[in-house]
Amino acid sequence: MTNSLKNILVVGATGGTGFAVVQALLERGHRVTAFSRSASQMELTHDSLLKLDGDVMSAIDVSRAVAGQDAVIVALGIAENPLKVRFWGSTKTPLQVRSEGTKMLIHAMKEHGVDKLVVLSSYGVGETRDELGWFERLFFALVLAPQIADTERQERAVRESGLEWVLAQPVHLSDKDIEELPFTSTNGEVRKMEVARKQVAQVLARAALVDEYIGRSVSISG
């Protein structure tokens, strides 16, 4: 796949990272479909932006969103306080949204002949599980355990999909206004344990447009 004009679906487009990905793709001149339960409420407007409301857990909604796309970028997550989710569960988003939503997307992509899949995961999952320091391991175990377990299931589904996949694993995300390219690695190496969402968005956008990282897990750090 080249960097020519593409139709890109961004799933989870109203989240912090998803929204940054939408902006990054539009700045590159591509046509973007922003998909989420509240996509129509996005304040961003652009001639090349389609806002599509839908539920990633609905096969009908997902199939409608995937049709006609050249690539899919998945930035699913749970916006609620992680402590609340850990001990009382999520009231707005299914706890298995990452894995089950991604499986829905994989099925629809095969149905419509869409090959390129880029998925936002997390540093410390899968190949980088053993790279975490003691504090991050403790935080994952005590606070994020259910969400990390679902991210592990999501990664397995992606790896077994048979698609042209890329797994993006950023370290701790921040909302800082930093647009310079971050440090990326395919062997688990990182520099800082923080990276801006705008920086991660640059990597996700590029991964959807070129073949550099196909079949790889990419660590992203500041």
- Domains of the chain listed by start with CATH number: 7-221 (3.40.50.720)
pLDDT digits (tens, 9 = 90+) for 149-171: 999 999 999 999 999 999 999 99
pLDDT value of residue 1 = 45
E strands along the chain, which residues? 7-11, 31-36, 49-53, 71-74, 116-120, 164-170, 172-174, 183-185, 194-196, 216-221
pLDDT value of residue 3 = 57
pTM score, whole prediction: 0.94
- Residue 25's contacts (CB-CB under 8 Å, 6 or more residues apart) are 8, 10, 32, 205, 208
Task: Extract the residue ranges of the chain whose pLDDT is less than 70.
Answer: 1-3
CA distances from 210 to 27, 159, 162 (A): 16, 19, 18
